Amino acid sequence: MKSLFILLFLTFFTVNLFSQSSLLVEGKLNIDSIYNNANEKIISQYIFEFPTSKKDDLIKKTKNWGAKRFVNLKEVLVGETDEQLVFNYIDDNMFIKTLGLSNSYSWYIRLVVQFKDEKMRVQYFDDGNTFQPGSQYGPSLKARTYKLSNYFKESDGSMYAQKMFTPGMISLKQSIERNARDLEETIKSNEIKKDDW
């Protein structure tokens, strides 16, 4: 039993380390590893295809996913048209490492989902920091004052994250990727089974 626990721990550690290292170039985090499009602040973008699904069904399933994912859909769903849903939520996976300690830095993410028959485009935008209360080390920080791009510096013609922000940015990017996979898998699983209870 003990060896099974150690094996699981090492597997998790190796997978986590590998996924982090895939974003790093020579031990540094390049701005292009965090953003799909740094000018528009798009962190991730996906096109999901669902053959035989109509646009209205995809919208309904996405709203159902949002209701389960975000607890209070009315607060998170900030925009809705016939072809698009806009969610604005807080992701708690961003952090800053200083003096060996991790300080949480929650981050606003704007999720824009656009619909057509049989497919949808999902975009995650960097919407800035949440409010940070002041402390003995510095004043409070208003919400949406900084974007992730503010924590990159130019070096050798490329933009690299400052070391103290790198693990937190990787954690945030991985959280967004998990969120997108969850959305896609939820809609696919609803396509396969019809539950007429």
Which backbone phi and psi does 74 adopt, to 5 degrees?
-60, -35
Contact 117, 54 (CB under 8 A): yes
**Segments of 1-130 assigned E as strands:** 24-25, 28-29, 42-49, 77-80, 84-91, 95-98, 101-104, 107-116, 119-129
Residues comprising the chain, all counted: 197
User: Which residue, chain included where needed, has tokens 């949002």?
Assistant: 66
pLDDT in tens, 117-156: 999 999 999 999 999 888 776 788 899 999 999 999 998 8
Domain edges within the chain: 26-192
How many angstroms separate the CA atoms of 132 and 10, rounded? 35
Is the pLDDT at 10 greater than 50, yes or no? no
pLDDT in tens, 78-98: 999 999 999 999 999 999 888
Average pLDDT over residues 158-171: 93
pLDDT in tens, 58-83: 999 999 999 999 989 999 999 999 99
Q: Is pTM beyond 0.85 here?
A: no
- CATH code: domain 26-192 is 3.30.530.80
Q: Which helix (H) or strand (E) holds 35?
A: none
